[in-house]
């Protein structure tokens, strides 16, 4: 039997499976939970030993424990996809595959120019051409996310997060494209991909790198 509490706990544990170490802001974005509900849920999970807080240092936030991973697997048996949800996820996964392939090519172009020299972002015309390709991929993935979000709101929320990162890139923040641990477009894309694998129950394969 699922309750509001178990649903919130599953959402938080799922987000931590996707993100790893997550700030409160990141957890809110991933789960869609209100601030008070998120705080209460994280506190409850800490008391049961399913998550722990990492404070101070360069990085702080919440992370899942081995016991939390076991609890996630237990809760996952209570949150099996319904028929319409399964169809929506499978449809999105089929659409995502080729889009993901194109995105990887664009990331490569952002990092390395056609002459195989590193892109140092001193050529605004070249960067603009790559961002234009990213715009096209963004339109495609956003349409697919909006569709699956009707049945799986958690996946649909990635559309807005990707849009925020893309706008930062358009505004000249080159790090917002692919810098690790920056909430960059690439960071969020990788989280989406991991979320999709978890939601669909698939293992990561060669085509999922």
Expressed as residue numbers, the domain containing 159 is 83-208
SS3 63: strand
Using the predicted structure, report yes or no on whether residue 101 has a pLDDT greater than 90.
yes
**Together in a domain, 69 and 117:** no
Residue 118's SS3 state is strand
Domain count, the chain: 2
- Looking at residue 1, what is its pLDDT? 47
Residue among 187, 100, 109, 107 nearest 145 (CA)? 100
Average pLDDT in the chain: 94
- Residue 46: CB partners within 8 Å, gap ≥ 6? 52, 53
For the residues 149-169, what does the mean pLDDT come to? 98
Last residue of a domain, one of 57, 76, 95: 76
Give the pLDDT score at 204.
55
Average pLDDT (121-137) is 98
| 131 in the same domain as 32 | no
3-state helix, strand, coil in the chain (%, to 5): 70, 5, 25
Query: Of the residues 43, 76, 109, which one is the last residue of a structural domain?
Result: 76
């Amino acid at each position: 039997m699922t309750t509001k509490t178990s649903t919130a706990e599953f959402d938080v544990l799922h987000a931590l499976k996707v993100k790893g170490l997550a700030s409160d802001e990141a957890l809110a974005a991933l789960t869609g939970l209100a601030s008070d509900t998120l705080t209460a849920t994280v506190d409850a999970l800490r008391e049961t030993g399913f998550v722990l807080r990492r404070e101070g240092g360069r990085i702080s936030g919440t992370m899942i424990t081995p016991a939390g991973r076991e609890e996630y697997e237990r809760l996952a048996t209570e949150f099996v996809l319904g028929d319409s949800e399964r169809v929506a996820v499978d449809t999105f996964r089929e659409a995502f595959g080729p889009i993901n392939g194109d995105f990887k090519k664009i990331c490569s172009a952002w990092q390395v120019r056609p002459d195989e020299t590193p892109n140092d972002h001193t050529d605004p015309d070249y960067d603009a051409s790559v961002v234009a390709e990213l715009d096209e991929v963004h339109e495609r993935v956003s349409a697919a996310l909006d569709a699956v979000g009707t049945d799986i709101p958690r996946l649909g929320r990635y559309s807005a997060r990707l849009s925020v990162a893309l706008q930062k890139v358009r505004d000249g923040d080159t790090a917002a494209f692919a810098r690790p641990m920056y909430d960059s477009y690439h960071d969020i894309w990788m989280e989406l991909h991991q979320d999709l694998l978890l939601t669909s129950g698939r293992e990561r394969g060669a085509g999922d790198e």
